[in-house]
A and B are shown apart, each in its own frame.
Chain A
Amino acid sequence: MSEPLFELRGVGKTFGSGTVALEGLDFAVGRHAFVSLLGPSGCGKSTVLRLIAGLLRPSRGRLIWHRRIARGDIGFVFQEPTLMPWASVFDNVRLPLKLQGRPRREVREEVERALSMVGLEDFAGAYPRELSGGMKMRVSIARALVTRPELLLMDEPFAALDEITRFKLNNELLNLWARESWTVVFVTHSVYESVYLSERILVMASRPGRITGEIPIEVPYPRDEAFRLSSRYTAACRRVSDELRRAMGE
């Protein structure tokens, strides 16, 4: 693993209701890595992302950053596009910079750059309700990228999309990651998606949420449609599925 960006040591989370969501999480994520958290619904994958983002505090254990992380160094993409319906695409993408207090004229280039990264430069003036599901998700990704983050946290961002759009966005995400070299922690419950995208998959089990296995996907990038049809992809999917089945106690 490359130089670590952060690590979780013995992290656990118990909610106010007494529910133990996570227990004994120990893993590190290297800089520029693409790591997926894979597990069944309710195993605490999203809670892990929220802990990393600082939106939740661990009840036990520690989250250690190996680099100084400032506001804007973490981008978050939710399962839903989570856009402000009253604001144009441009203003949605501008939001993180606006909250940093940077005036509109100063950040125009940054916003346009983020929009062109996701292929939406011609839709800057559109409103979210005028866009398709895939386009809304691209806006959400552009907003996460506009601050040039060190770490991108993605919480099942493509789960609600149709398969064709999902494949397309998977490829675009990999291209961007190869170019921009952020660190990505990607939450998914799709074995196929995790194998296609990741360098490393952490398999989680539920009640309480914990990591039961770690599988490296040793296939070099760039990956494309040919990889999806290859025997290496099928073999990796089978290995991950077996691990997931074990995690689910089947």
Chain B
Amino acid sequence: MAVAFDSENPDLPPAGPPAGRAELLVRIFGPLLLLGSIVGGWEFLVRINEIPPYILPGPGLVVESLLDNWHSLYPSLLVTLRITFLALAVAVVGGVGLAILFSLSRWVELSLFPLAVVLQVTPVVAIAPLILIYVDNITLALLICAWIVAFFPILSNTSMGLASADHNLRDLFELYGASRWQQLLHLRLPSALPYFLGGLRIAGGLALIGAIVAEFAAGTGGTGSGLAFRILEAGWRLEIPRMFAALLLISFAGILIFLAFTALQHLLLRRWHASAASRER
């Protein structure tokens, strides 16, 4: 049975023009324009009202301070990022591992999930001092704090994704005698991928927040200090532009983490998932 696929064939998928270039321009330049207006307005207000820098430094001064203090801020950024990514890695391994365990055993899910919820709903800022008391190693304590906040979105989203595999596909796998391992590998994990990536985007930001909160609670000085300590230090010395500079670095780090995971999501899902694929018009 040969079927000719031509323009007359009703079976052919509808053809459409490529995604609009205008949308791409708006997507890039829209936020940049808005950001530029805010920064410009901020500089203008500071200058026109002659606000002293120890109350509110202008963006120009903040950038200047960032460059001047790069030698101390950059190592601190690396410290914070190290904690963030370590916590995220542990959250991914633990969250995905536990979600797989939940999908394989209802008993394990019923027993452990409430505990995971308790961890999630308890504010990290409240537990951080306790963790710092009980754990001698500061890096490990910071890691635990950041992990607590980053872990839950990964666990929750991946669990939901693993459970969302199409029921007919599950029947098909059963019909062809697929083992539990084959079902997990070829059906449940791919079904869970969009959910996991959504969780990862949230967890990336939360891991950074967790690391910063833990650093605030720890308040340690020295060469191994993160950006939160630089903010505290600048506050004590009334170096407000430096404080803003550290804040700016944290924001940039958060934005970069978000963009990196968004790009990863796009890369992995663009051919098949509605959330990442462009819509023909």
Contacts and interface: CB of A to CB of B under 8 A. Distances in A.
Contact of A95 (B3, B5, B11, B186): B186
Q: Which of B3, B5, B11, B13 has the most C-beta atoms of chain A within 10 angstroms of its own C-beta?
A: B11
Interface string A57-83: 000000000000001101010101010
Interface in B163-179: 166, 168-169, 171-178
B175 A74 contact: yes
B121 interface: no
Contact of A84 (B12, B171, B176, B187): B187
Nearest to A85: B272
A71 B177 contact: yes
Nearest to B190: A86
A134 B272 contact: no
B2 to A, nearest CB: 6
Contacts of B171: 50, 53, 55, 76, 78
B222 interface: no
A216 interface: no
Contact of B12 (A76, A116, A132, A147): A132
A54 B175 contact: yes
A182 to B, nearest CB: 15
B3 to A, nearest CB: 3
B178 A99 contact: yes
A86 B272 contact: yes
B193 to A, nearest CB: 7
Contact of A86 (B175, B178, B193): B193
Given A99-B177, A119-B3, A82 B172 contact: yes
Interface stretch (A9-17, A23-31, A123-131, A217-225): A123-131
A136 to B, nearest CB: 10
Contacts of B271: 127, 129
A176 interface: yes
B254 to A, nearest CB: 29
Contacts of A41: none
Contacts, number: 86
A119 B172 contact: no
Contacts of A99: 173, 176-178, 182, 186
A116 B3 CA distance: 9
Interface residues of B, number: 30
Nearest to A50: B171
A76 B277 CA distance: 29
A117 interface: yes
B1 interface: yes
A55 B175 contact: yes
Contacts of B1: 117-119, 172, 175-176
B272 A128 contact: yes
Nearest to B194: A86
B14 interface: yes
Contacts of A71: 176-177
A213 interface: no
A78 B175 CA distance: 12
A96 B173 CA distance: 8
Nearest to A133: B11
Q: Which of B13, B14, B273 has the most C-beta atoms of chain A within 10 angstroms of its own C-beta?
A: B13
B17 interface: no
Given A55-B175, A72-B176, A74-B175, A132 B14 contact: yes
A250 B174 CA distance: 39
Given A86-B193, A119-B3, A129-B277, A135 B13 contact: yes
B3 A78 contact: no
Given A76-B172, A80-B168, A95-B186, A129 B177 contact: no
Contact of B13 (A80, A85, A87, A131): A131
A71 B174 CA distance: 10
B176 A95 contact: yes
A53 B175 contact: yes
B140 to A, nearest CB: 38
A226 interface: no
Interface of B: 1-3, 5, 10-14, 166, 168-169, 171-178, 182, 186-187, 190, 193, 271-274, 277
20 contacts: A50-B171, A53-B171, A55-B174, A74-B175, A76-B175, A78-B168, A84-B187, A86-B190, A95-B172, A98-B186, A99-B178, A99-B182, A116-B2, A117-B1, A119-B2, A119-B3, A128-B272, A129-B274, A131-B13, A172-B1
Given A54-B175, A55-B175, 6 more contacts: A78-B168, A82-B166, A87-B190, A95-B186, A168-B11, A175-B1
What 10 pairs between A and B have smallest CB-CB spacing?
A119-B3, A82-B168, A134-B11, A71-B177, A132-B13, A99-B176, A85-B272, A86-B190, A99-B178, A78-B168
